[in-house]
């Protein structure tokens, strides 16, 4: 089992059941964040980098956000044995994320993203997927799924060749074991064969997508109302994220439009991952769809006021401040009871 003295001890499945437990599979990324004065970067013109940080990006944002909300967060997937993978895992570990079952592949590389962000919060991502030998869905990973309350999976993982097939098996296994699966497809679905994403949706409980990702499913441009048809493929809930305009959450019996919150926007990176953590947290606590939408938007609003990713996701105090400033009294009251 991993602890703060190292990341190589044997895991112990006995201590998983501590409140709500959430597994995130794949999309384990190291973000190398370079803070610069201004974008774009122009050839022949020099800038002094203000700060360089290595942060757990991708699913790391989700994992840290959930931990700060009081969830037991477990990462599954693979990184390389390179410096980027070690740095990302150490940051997750010190934030309280359970990294025991993440594979560190000897000779493999870690998915790494160079993030250029300027003083106005504009950013550019330059990334490369990690590689290594293919990893099957292990019995150990199955045991973890059996003892968790929800599973989060990412469309980005379909691009991670070493674990993409394991992710598909894991989704089916979680469904068979009646574990809710939340799927965030990301921008790659247009490249995924329809039969594959239909198989994924058939095993999903929640689909979280942005409005720009809808065409990847329906094959044409469309607004959030076009996503309603995706409920027919299996999900119980479809949530369309609308950025600063909030979100729309749809079930077969309800449609909730939440306008979000007006806050100063400094950096939108990692906001969608924080939103997802808030959504899963509220869902597991059996809040109403309206409360789920409001809380997920709260997480996003708290994040966009901060610069960077990873350990820059919102703290509990920052989330409460957004709720308090916007007088979301019902959620503040629920939190006091939990």
Question: Could you tell me if residue 327 is inside a domain?
Answer: yes
pLDDT digits (tens, 9 = 90+) for 58-67: 999 999 999 9
In this structure, what CATH number is given to the domain that contains residue 254?
A: 3.40.1190.20
Neighbours of 88 (CB within 10 A): 28
**Is pLDDT at 316 greater than 50 in this prediction?**
yes
Burial class (CB in 10 A: 0-12, 13-18, 19+), 37: exposed
**Burial per residue of 233-252, b for 16 or more beta-carbon CB atoms within 10 angstroms, e otherwise:** bbbebbbbbbbbebbbbbee
Question: Could you tell me if residue 7 is inside a domain?
Answer: no
Q: Which domain holds residue 233?
A: 13-337
Q: How far apart are CA 69 and CA 316, in angstroms?
A: 6
Q: How far apart are CA 59 and CA 159, in angstroms?
A: 14
Question: Could you tell me if residue 2 is inside a domain?
Answer: no
Contacts of 66 (CB under 8 A, 6+ apart): 22, 73, 277, 280, 281
Question: Could you tell me if residue 45 is inside a domain?
Answer: yes
pLDDT digits (tens, 9 = 90+) for 207-262: 999 988 888 887 777 678 888 999 999 999 999 999 999 999 999 999 999 999 99
Domain total for the chain? 1
Question: Could you tell me if residue 4 is inside a domain?
Answer: no
314 phi and psi angles, rounded to 5 deg: -65, 150
**Helices (H) and strands (E) in the chain — how many of each?**
10, 13
pLDDT digits (tens, 9 = 90+) for 98-109: 999 999 999 999
Instruction: Please identify which residue in the block is written with the tokens 């997750």.
Output: 92
pLDDT digits (tens, 9 = 90+) for 169-179: 999 999 999 99
Whole-structure pTM value = 0.91
- Cα-based angle 167, 151, 174 (whole degrees, multiple of 5): 65
Q: How far apart are CA 232 and CA 89, in angstroms?
A: 38
Q: How far apart are CA 117 and CA 132, in angstroms?
A: 29
């Amino acid at each position: 089992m991993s602890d703060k003295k190292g990341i190589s001890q044997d895991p112990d499945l006995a201590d998983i059941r501590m409140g709500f437990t959430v597994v995130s599979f794949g999309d384990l990324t190291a973000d190398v964040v370079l803070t610069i004065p201004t974008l774009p970067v122009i050839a022949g013109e020099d800038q002094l980098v203000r700060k360089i940080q290595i942060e757990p990006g991708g699913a790391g944002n989700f994992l840290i956000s959930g931990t700060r909300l009081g969830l037991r967060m477990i990462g599954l997937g693979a990184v390389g044995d390179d410096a980027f993978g070690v740095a990302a895992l150490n940051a997750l570990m010190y934030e309280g994320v359970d990294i025991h079952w993440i594979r560190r592949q000897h000779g493999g590389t870690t998915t790494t993203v160079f993030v250029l962000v300027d003083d106005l919060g504009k950013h550019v991502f330059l990334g490369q997927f990690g590689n290594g030998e293919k990893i099957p869905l292990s019995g150990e990973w199955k045991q973890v799924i059996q003892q968790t309350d929800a599973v989060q999976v990412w469309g980005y993982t379909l691009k991670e060749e070493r674990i993409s097939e394991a992710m598909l098996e894991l989704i089916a296994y979680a469904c068979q074991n009646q574990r809710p699966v939340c799927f965030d497809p990301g921008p790659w679905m247009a490249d995924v064969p329809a039969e594959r994403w239909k198989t994924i949706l058939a095993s999903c409980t929640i689909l979280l997508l942005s409005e720009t990702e809808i065409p990847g499913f329906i094959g044409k441009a469309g607004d959030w109302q076009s996503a309603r048809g995706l409920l027919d493929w299996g999900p119980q809930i479809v949530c369309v994220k609308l950025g600063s305009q909030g979100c729309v959450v749809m079930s077969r019996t309800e449609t909730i439009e939440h306008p979000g919150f007006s806050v100063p926007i400094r950096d939108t990176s990692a906001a969608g991952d924080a939103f997802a953590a808030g959504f899963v947290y509220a869902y597991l606590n059996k809040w109403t769809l309206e409360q789920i939408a409001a809380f997920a938007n709260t997480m996003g609003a708290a994040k966009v006021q901060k610069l960077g990713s990873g350990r820059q996701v919102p703290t509990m105090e920052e989330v409460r401040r957004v709720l308090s400033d916007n007088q979301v009294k019902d959620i503040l009251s629920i939190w006091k009871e939990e």
